[in-house]
Amino acid sequence: MSDGIRLCKVGMSSAAMMSDPAGDSGACAGLRAAFDQAMPWSGACRLSQDHALVGLFELDDWRRWLLQAAALLDGAERARVQRRRRPADRDALTLAYALHRLFLQAALDLDAAALPLGRDALGCPRLEGLAVHTSLSHSQAYVAIAVCRQGPVGVDVEPRHRRQVMEEIAAQTCHPDEAAEMARLSGQARAEALLGLWVRKEALLKAAGIGLARPMGSFRAPVGQALPLEPKVGKTCLRMLQAMPGAMAAVAAPAEVPVLSAWLRPPVVACPATARQLAG
């Protein structure tokens, strides 16, 4: 993205932007239009009864709509954003929450600003009064969002540069069987495998709704196998998601449910006039 088409002021944090949240569709028209063009699934295919959806985002693609993203948030989300100390973290969380609402709007055919999004005791997102499960992961420059009607879902995304620190926590991350498998790897291949294991376990714990209450080393997280989630919930299956050069992601969804995933990118802006139109 060229500097000539950035429509938000450099250095302006979302905290300042949220002083006058508009909240209506017109105030977010450019962001909504860009998201609609980025969404790869249409109509009834978006969230039928036979699959789950995962959207992956690189936040730099969406920063030009930061002001409009802030207008989509509800009071509780704004409060959580304001608790972040660093302006960059507040901006990233603002975009993550807005993209979550827009993804659910596209999947469920409900207005983004009116979605009954709440949080459970662990801070995990919940759709109040709807038989729909959702999960949100945001890590520095990346966001992952999952939604599923058939059962619990969990998603996690991590930047690939975190491979460099995985060795420090390998003993806490790996089940003994996994530690034996990792012992056969070295160098970059080992670091890559450890990060993949981490995102799978994070996704599984989110689907189970227990966060980090269960030590990662106490269970295995193989790809593509049906795993017991919690009593009376059924089984889940872990899948690695479409790779990006800078990030790695995984999802845990009901074992019998296919998963559709995609990286969502806004349209390329060809000229300043087009940028103004998209900005609403």
**Per-residue pLDDT tens for 175-187?**
999 999 999 999 9
The Cα–Cα gap between 109 and 121 comes to 27
Q: Residue 244 burial by CB count (10 A; 0-12/13-18/19+): exposed, middle or buried? A: middle
Looking at per-residue pLDDT, the higher value among 167 and 231 belongs to 167
Mean of the pLDDT values across residues 126-139? 94
Mean of the pLDDT values across residues 72-93? 96
Q: What is the pLDDT of residue 231?
A: 60
What share of the chain has pLDDT > 90, as a percent?
69
Query: pTM score, two decimals?
Result: 0.86
Mean of the pLDDT values across residues 172-199? 96
pLDDT of residue 115 exceeding 70: yes
- Domains in the chain with CATH codes: 29-278 (3.90.470.20)
pLDDT of residue 80 exceeding 60: yes
Q: Residue 234 burial by CB count (10 A; 0-12/13-18/19+): exposed, middle or buried? A: middle
Measured in degrees and rounded to the nearest 5, phi and psi for residue 262 equal: -160, 150
Q: Which amino acid is at 88?
A: A
User: Band of the pLDDT at 277, cuts 50, 70, 90?
Assistant: low
Q: What is the overall mean pLDDT for the chain?
A: 85
For residue 191, give both structure tokens.
Answer: 């670091």
Q: What is the pLDDT of residue 221?
A: 96
Q: How, if at all, do strands 52-58 and 259-263 pair?
A: parallel
User: Band of the pLDDT at 50, cuts 50, 70, 90?
Assistant: confident
Q: What is the pLDDT of residue 123?
A: 84
Q: What is the pLDDT of residue 17?
A: 41
For residue 180, give both structure tokens.
Answer: 């034996």
Where would I find the H helices in 43-148? 66-72, 75-82, 87-108
Mean of the pLDDT values across residues 148-177? 95
Q: Measuring CA to CA, which residue among 216, 276, 223 is closest to residue 250?
A: 223
Q: What is the pLDDT of residue 140?
A: 86
pLDDT of residue 59 exceeding 90: yes
